[in-house]
């Protein structure tokens, strides 16, 4: 990591000027995340509780989700190791600090070749976060909590910096680390790198071929292209193969720790019916807001159409350095992936009426929109800063407060501050009102203190981070869906079972002791945590103004 940090500032003039930029970018990301997603963030209970169980299997060992196969083992084994030495909340803050530092290093190393000013990466971050505060396309975000995708994007940006500097071995290494932390995002990023590089090589090959033909006094129809191509390939085969094989080996070694768990998930022994059902549940039920383009709101399409227009216009009026051309090609491939996803997912509803429904559903489950969701606003931010660098930012203001206030850098800072106020106003800290939140934390604290460590609890359907606060196992939770096919189907079965049980046994408007005894026998539940459910023919062992805890073991 030390080499990575040192390399991140090769374009900056002096050593004294390196670290302030890194610290400013890191503080920008950390502050934005702290305001946008107060601990625990939306996915932090998911990742950090998994991490704690990864290192301490006896912790909530009866929890259905925690016992399911791991998809992000590298995250659990690295940043997740903080849960061994600190509380879950402390691990969240420490994990945010580490992951945003990786992101800040990758941000500077990846974007510095595209900018001329020392503070260009910082200004780009301010514009990007300003755009992020207005929304996204498919629900993808970059700053807002600690999870596997944050360091993944940091390493992916580092790989971008190596690509722009023609350092293919380090690009392969950073790309492999990105895949290790988050295989889906990392592989989409590497595909964008490879496709852009392939197109560049093809165009360069054709240009050189045309120049050689013109120098020989021939045109392409007079020369024998097959013979010339064979000669050129024969001269370059050893070098070309070595240039491909060595980075491939480096990429494979660095990506393998993250690919092995995913390969196990994809090759698990499950019937075709189970796989089909799991894919349907993933694409059109649990993650439809990320994977089904017909579920994205109209404002997302309009907002990203505007970003695409701005970015497309910048291809003509923006700075056209070689690094910028290559970066724009990578952004273009991200947009192509997203457009392909829209075409694949668009069709009649219900989805099964679409032609080739099964094939289209299997393609959508790989998140084709994620890369464009972030690369497009980053591309717009780069283009805007590029224009300002050649115009307003190239003139230094006089040292008066009026000139500093009117300088574009001050305006960019105001944009960032405005984004902080916006996300503070729209941040969803939890699903409860202030009074209900107090009661929720109170009942979770009581459960953590009084229930045995091996208790199995069913919390309300709108329960928020139950394992985080109560530190007890759950029978099933809508938020915590396993990622293996059999686990997804079982997760859906448990949800359906509880819903039908609650509905069918409320015909007499009372859950009798006998009915509750049957629930315990069918699920293994030891305790039931409710808010509006009831009345029950059982006295709660604890209650506050909103929640009640029932001991189902007393019915034995």
Supply the pLDDT for residue 177.
97
Supply the pLDDT for residue 105.
96
**Residue 66 near residue 45, CB atoms below 8 Å:** no
Supply the pLDDT for residue 301.
96
Per-residue pLDDT band at 407 (split at 50, 70, 90): low
Is the pLDDT at 9 greater than 70? The verdict is: no
Print the SS3 string covering 77-96.
HCHHHHHHCCCHHHHHHHHH
Q: Tokens 């115009």 sit at which residue?
A: 391
pLDDT for 346-381, tens place per residue? 999 889 999 999 999 999 999 999 999 999 999 999
Which residues partner with 530 through β-bridges? 548
Supply the pLDDT for residue 218.
52
How many residues does this entry show for the chain?
556
Instruction: Give 9-48 as a DSSP string.
Output: TTTSS-GGGHHHHHHHHHHHHHHHHHHHSPSS-TTHHHHH
Report percent pLDDT > 90 for the chain: 69
Per-residue pLDDT band at 274 (split at 50, 70, 90): very high
Supply the pLDDT for residue 506.
86
For residue 339, how far is the Cα from the chain centroid?
Answer: 19
Q: pTM here?
A: 0.90
pLDDT for 444-495, tens place per residue? 999 999 999 999 999 998 888 999 999 999 999 999 999 999 999 999 999 9
pLDDT for 411-448, tens place per residue? 888 889 999 999 988 776 556 677 788 999 999 999 99
Number of neighbouring beta carbons within 10 Å of residue 135: 14
Supply the pLDDT for residue 211.
72
Is the pLDDT at 223 greater than 50? The verdict is: no
**Residue 186 near residue 258, CB atoms below 8 Å:** yes
Supply the pLDDT for residue 220.
47
Q: Residue 14 to residues 118, 211, 390: CA-CA distances in angstroms?
A: 10, 42, 22
Supply the pLDDT for residue 232.
45
pLDDT for 35-86, tens place per residue? 999 999 989 999 999 999 999 999 999 999 999 999 999 999 999 999 999 9
Per-residue pLDDT band at 534 (split at 50, 70, 90): confident
Report percent pLDDT > 70 for the chain: 87
Supply the pLDDT for residue 425.
82
Q: Residue 76 to residues 5, 63, 245, 256: CA-CA distances in angstroms?
A: 24, 17, 30, 15
Supply the pLDDT for residue 556.
80
What DSSP character marks residue 398?
A: P
Supply the pLDDT for residue 6.
45
Per-residue pLDDT band at 320 (split at 50, 70, 90): confident
Picking from 394, 428, 352, the residue whose alpha carbon sits closest to that of residue 37 is 428
For residue 500, how far is the Cα from the chain centroid?
Answer: 34
Mean pLDDT for 515-522 is 94
pLDDT for 107-155, tens place per residue? 999 999 999 888 899 999 999 999 999 999 999 999 989 999 999 999 9
């Amino acid at each position: 990591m030390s080499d990575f940090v040192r390399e991140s500032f090769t374009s900056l003039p002096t050593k004294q000027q390196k670290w302030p930029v890194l610290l400013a970018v890191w503080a920008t990301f950390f502050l934005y995340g702290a305001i946008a997603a107060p601990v625990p963030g939306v996915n932090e209970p998911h990742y950090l509780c998994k991490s704690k169980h990864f290192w301490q299997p006896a912790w909530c060992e009866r929890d259905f989700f925690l016992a399911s196969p791991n998809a992000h083992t590298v995250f659990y084994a690295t940043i997740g190791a903080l849960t061994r030495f600190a509380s879950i909340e402390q691990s969240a803050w420490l994990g945010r600090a580490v992951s945003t530092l990786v992101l800040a290093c990758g941000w500077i190393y990846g974007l510095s070749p595209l900018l001329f000013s020392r503070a260009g990466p910082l200004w780009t971050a301010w514009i990007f976060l300003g755009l992020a505060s207005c929304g996204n396309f498919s629900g993808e975000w970059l700053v807002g909590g600690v999870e596997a995708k944050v360091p993944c994007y940091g390493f992916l940006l580092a790989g971008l910096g190596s690509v722009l500097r023609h350092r293919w071995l380090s690009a392969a290494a950073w790309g492999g680390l990105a895949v290790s932390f988050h295989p889906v995002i990392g592989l989409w990023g590497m595909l964008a790198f490879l496709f852009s590089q392939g197109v560049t090589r093809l165009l360069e090959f054709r240009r050189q071929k045309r120049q050689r033909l013109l120098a020989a006094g021939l045109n392409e129809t007079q020369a024998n292209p097959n013979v010339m191509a064979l000669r050129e390939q024969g001269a370059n085969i050893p070098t070309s193969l070595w240039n491909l094989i060595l980075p491939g080996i480096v990429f494979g070694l660095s990506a393998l720790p993250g690919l092995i768990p995913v390969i196990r998930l994809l090759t698990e022994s499950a019937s075709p019916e189970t796989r089909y059902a799991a894919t349907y549940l993933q694409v059109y039920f649990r993650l439809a807001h990320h994977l089904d383009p017909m579920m994205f709101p109209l404002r997302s399409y309009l907002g990203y159409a505007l970003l695409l227009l701005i970015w497309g216009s910048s291809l003509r009026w923006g700075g056209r350095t070689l690094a910028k051309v290559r970066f724009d090609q990578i952004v273009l491939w991200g947009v192509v992936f997203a457009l392909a996803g829209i075409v694949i997912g668009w069709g009649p509803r219900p989805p099964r009426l679409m032609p080739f429904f099964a094939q289209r559903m299997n393609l959508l489950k790989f998140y084709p929109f994620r890369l464009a969701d972030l690369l497009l606003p980053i591309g717009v931010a780069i283009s805007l800063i590029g224009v300002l660098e050649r115009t307003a930012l190239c003139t230094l203001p006089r040292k008066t407060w009026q000139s500093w206030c009117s300088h574009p850098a001050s305006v960019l800072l105001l944009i960032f501050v405005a984004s902080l106020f916006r996300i503070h106003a729209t941040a969803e800290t939890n699903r409860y009102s202030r009074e209900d939140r107090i009661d929720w934390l109170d009942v979770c604290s009581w459960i953590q203190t009084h229930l045995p460590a091996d208790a199995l609890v069913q919390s309300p359907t709108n329960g928020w981070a139950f394992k985080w606060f109560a530190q007890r196992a759950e029978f099933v939770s809508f938020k915590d869906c396993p990622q293996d096919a059999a686990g997804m189907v079982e997760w859906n079965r448990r949800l359906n079972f509880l819903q039908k049980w609650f509905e069918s046994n409320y015909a007499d408007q009372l859950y009798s002791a006998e009915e509750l005894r049957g629930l315990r026998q069918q699920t293994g539940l030891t305790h039931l945590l409710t808010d509006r459910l009831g009345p029950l023919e059982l006295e709660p062992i604890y209650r506050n103004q909103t929640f009640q805890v029932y001991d189902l073991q007393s019915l034995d």
